[in-house]
Structure 1
Amino acid sequence: MKRSLLLAAIALTITASAQEAPSISSAKIALDKLDLVSAKSYIDDAKVIIDGKPASEVKSKNMSKYHYYRGNVYYALYTSETPGNADYLDETVKSYTNLIAFEASLGKERYADNIADKMPMLAQEYVNRAETENFDNKDKGEARLNYSKAFELRGSLGQVDSTSLSYMAYLSQDMEDWTEAERIYLILIGMNYKNMTWSGMLAKDSARYPFPDKRTLDMYVLTGEAFEPQRSESTEHDLYIQLLWVYSESDQKSKYDSLITISRAKYPENENLLKMELQSYLEKEDYAGALKNLKEAIVKNPNSALYLYNAGYIYHQQMKDLENGKAYYELAVTADPKYLDAVYMLGLMEIDASNVWVQKINKLGRSENSKAKSYTKEKEKALGRALVYFEKAYSIDNKDEATLKALREVYYKLTRYDDVKRVTEEMQQI
């Protein structure tokens, strides 16, 4: 009786230790027949069996075979649908990754070499899914997740997928996840990421797609899956610009000030960084710094009406330097005769000049008629000059409310009441 029980126990042990092998083999046979339902059922049975026993009780040959065919089955399932099931792709990657790690621990490859060429393509599948989620489904969270999976998978293959990492940063920024955006941008800057992208035309649809690096693109070209490889110019400065926006939007002023100084020193010719530094000066009311910045910009772009106008505005409104203010406004109008703001401000300066003569007239005594006439004449000259500017501004934009108000005021002071009525009616129609 004891002998019978012992034999039964031995038989059960042998059966249990051998159970995963038939399930794996059955999965392979079903896969070869393209019976994916049965293949999945068998390989899932094998998983239950293997997960239910210590790893030491699974033969290394069976473990390698299990990871390999589980990956194959789930990859076949993934590619059998359009679009493919994300869970199937994840399971494929997990199985192949486990296979590579397991055989590396053994120091012996049975199947890992068979999937070497497939792994980069799986990473590209994550990128494709990320693009679909971002552009078609408008789901930035899922897009970022898929780029993250591509980044991690390529990292496990010894590739630094800085392109996917940069997209993760951009998406984090769009999602207003400032902490994550900052973290990733700092990583990219620390990597000296040049932000050069590789792209190629995919043979399947003759459309251009981005690639993570030259190595992956070369592989696609070599296999005939892509053609016309192309590399973009470096836009490394954009990382600094985007991080500055992150600091601005998240109200991290000290970090912004520090980074703008570093960025301007690193890219002194970049106009966007110049503008951002100018805005920083203006927000801090550092007008001397803003003028220094503007003059540097004007040297590089002497015909920029925007820069010339802003220099004039700072001199005029903030530093009360009327001479320089007027000079820069005039330069702005010379650069762009239809630059409305500069034309308007020149008119406003003439109104201010006329008001100065009014103040002088009001201080005169009753017997100072000669001076009063002279001052009145100068006042009217200033109003006449103002009218020229405001009528020019009106010709540029006859719906601009500030221009209409100023024009009505000048007409009134010049006693042109019919024009006052006309402008008033135009204002009421806006």
Structure 2
Amino acid sequence: MKKLILGIAIVSSAFFFGQKQEKPDVNAQLQASNKAAMDAYQSKNYAVAAPKFVEVYNLMKTNGQDDKIYMYYAGLSYALANNVDESIKIYTDLINSGFTGVQTQYTAKDVKTGEVTSLNKGIWEGLKNTKSKDYTDFKTEQTKSVEPDLYETLSTLLLNAKKNDEALALIEKGLAKYPNNAKLKEYQGSALYATGNTDKFLTNLKEQLAKNPNDATNWYNLGVLQAKTPATETDAIASFQKAIELAGTNTALLNNSYQNLVYTSLGDDAKAVESINTLRKSNPDEATKLIEARKGRFNKALPYAEKWLQTNPENIDAVTTLREIYSITKNQAKATEMKAKQAELEAKQPKQ
């Protein structure tokens, strides 16, 4: 699961309503709420900014302007404040409402200053139609849709909240609208795996790797799935090796890949030992063959285990595994070295 990264330039706006006589302070209240929201957001005080953006939205809606961009800002702020439940609720409502965030911006160049200024639509049209000498270069531009961002962010929020079925349904809904969205395809894989749809997850991984064969994490995930089936263990080893090749300085991925290379190479060792013990008396020749085959698997796993320990020298699992491998492969000196290393690491463990 990829870390949730959120960021957007939130632009302050000026508000002017035709004030009703019974609410002479509505503009002042709106301006104050907007300023409080903006100041809190810029100060990264997202827990304060979020409800203030909701307040701005409600004030505007009460006065006839249903501008959901402020709910979008609120949802973003709640997410940044780690208030996942509120953020999920807002993002869900925005998606269900069909909100895209697309707006038309009206600009003109101030002749005196030479600066491009954003204007209210009515003012912009008035200045343009009267051929004002104070402004030139009248332009309109539509902002980019934020709908893909809504789907991406809500998918991540749901996955992080372990609401995997909801996440999968949302992702598939998003992909129906944006079939080439790389992030949603990636999140789809995470959701499929989390919901136990391993066959679909495998297909998803292969599709992702066809598009981006340099994604080390996807190679690792593919290896994990392939390692679950004896018939594809060789493929799993190749996938883990590819992940290592592409991992760079990602020590966690290197550690996990080498660990899985070891375990995949060893296979189901407990089952192998059980078979050997069963055959020792009834069929010693067959038992000997199984013993030799087991030694072969341990020899195969040895270089991976050594690399595993090199990658993570303080990993007690790597040490104990390597100790056993050295014992089976008759390298007693190294086994003794690993025994001492194991004792050293165990001594550092916190007391229970």
Corresponding residue to 2:76 among 147, 167, 170: 170
Q: Which residue in 2 is equivalent to 1:302?
A: 213
Q: Aligned pair in 2 of structure 1 residues 426, 273: CA closer, same or farther (>3 Å)?
A: farther
Distance 1:137 1:312 in 2: 41
1:381 aligns with 2:293: no
Corresponding residue to 2:336 among 418, 423, 426: 418
| 1:179 Cα deviation from its structure 2 partner | 6.1
| 1:171 Cα deviation from its structure 2 partner | 3.6
Q: Which residue in 1 is equivalent to 2:183?
A: 272
Distance 2:162 2:168 in 1: 11
* Count of aligned positions: 303
Q: Which residue in 2 is equivalent to 1:342?
A: 257
Q: Which residue in 2 is equivalent to 1:39?
A: none
| 1:274 Cα deviation from its structure 2 partner | 2.4
2:94 maps to a residue whose letter is I
User: Unaligned stretches of 5+ in structure 2?
Assistant: 1-14, 108-116, 125-131, 136-140
TM-score with structure 1 length normalisation? 0.56
Q: Which residue in 1 is equivalent to 2:33?
A: 126
Q: Which residue in 2 is equivalent to 1:395?
A: 310
Query: Do the aligned partners of 1:346 and 1:389 also contact (CA within 8 Å) in 2?
Result: yes
Distance 1:309 1:180 in 2: 32
Distance 1:172 1:340 in 2: 35
User: Unaligned stretches of 5+ in structure 1?
Assistant: 1-92, 104-111, 201-212, 225-229
Q: Aligned pair in 2 of structure 1 residues 218, 421: CA closer, same or farther (>3 Å)?
A: farther
Q: Aligned pair in 2 of structure 1 residues 262, 418: CA closer, same or farther (>3 Å)?
A: same
1:165 maps to a residue whose letter is M
Distance 1:233 1:400 in 2: 48
Q: Aligned pair in 2 of structure 1 residues 243, 219: CA closer, same or farther (>3 Å)?
A: farther
Distance 1:192 1:321 in 2: 46
Q: Percent identity?
A: 19
Q: Which residue in 2 is equivalent to 1:330?
A: 241
Query: Do the aligned partners of 2:309 and 2:315 also contact (CA within 8 Å) in 1?
Result: yes
Corresponding residue to 1:144 among 50, 54, 64: 50
Distance 1:170 1:246 in 2: 11
1:351 maps to a residue whose letter is L
2:35 maps to a residue whose letter is N
More relative contact order, 1 or 2 (CA 8 Å, 6+ apart)? 2
2:36 maps to a residue whose letter is R
Q: Deviation digits for residues 346-394 of structure 1, max 9, x if unmatched?
A: 1112222766665554354569776666554433232122111010111
| 1:154 Cα deviation from its structure 2 partner | 4.8
Distance 1:215 1:366 in 2: 92
Distance 1:125 1:296 in 2: 51
SS in structure 2 at match of 1:100: coil
Distance 2:198 2:78 in 1: 34
Q: Deviation digits for residues 193-212 of structure 1, max 9, x if unmatched?
A: 147898x9xxxxxxxxxxxx
SS in structure 1 at match of 2:19: helix
Deviates more, 1:415-424 or 1:186-195: 186-195
Corresponding residue to 2:19 among 81, 97, 100: 100
| 1:149 Cα deviation from its structure 2 partner | 3.9
Q: Deviation digits for residues 76-126 of structure 1, max 9, x if unmatched?
A: xxxxxxxxxxxxxxxxx9xx86x73349xxxxxxxx9xx9xx96x975553
Query: Do the aligned partners of 1:182 and 1:243 also contact (CA within 8 Å) in 2?
Result: no
SS in structure 1 at match of 2:20: helix
- 1:74-89 aligned at under 5 Å gives the runs none
TM-score with structure 2 length normalisation? 0.67
Query: Do the aligned partners of 2:71 and 2:90 also contact (CA within 8 Å) in 1?
Result: no
Query: Do the aligned partners of 1:237 and 1:267 also contact (CA within 8 Å) in 2?
Result: yes
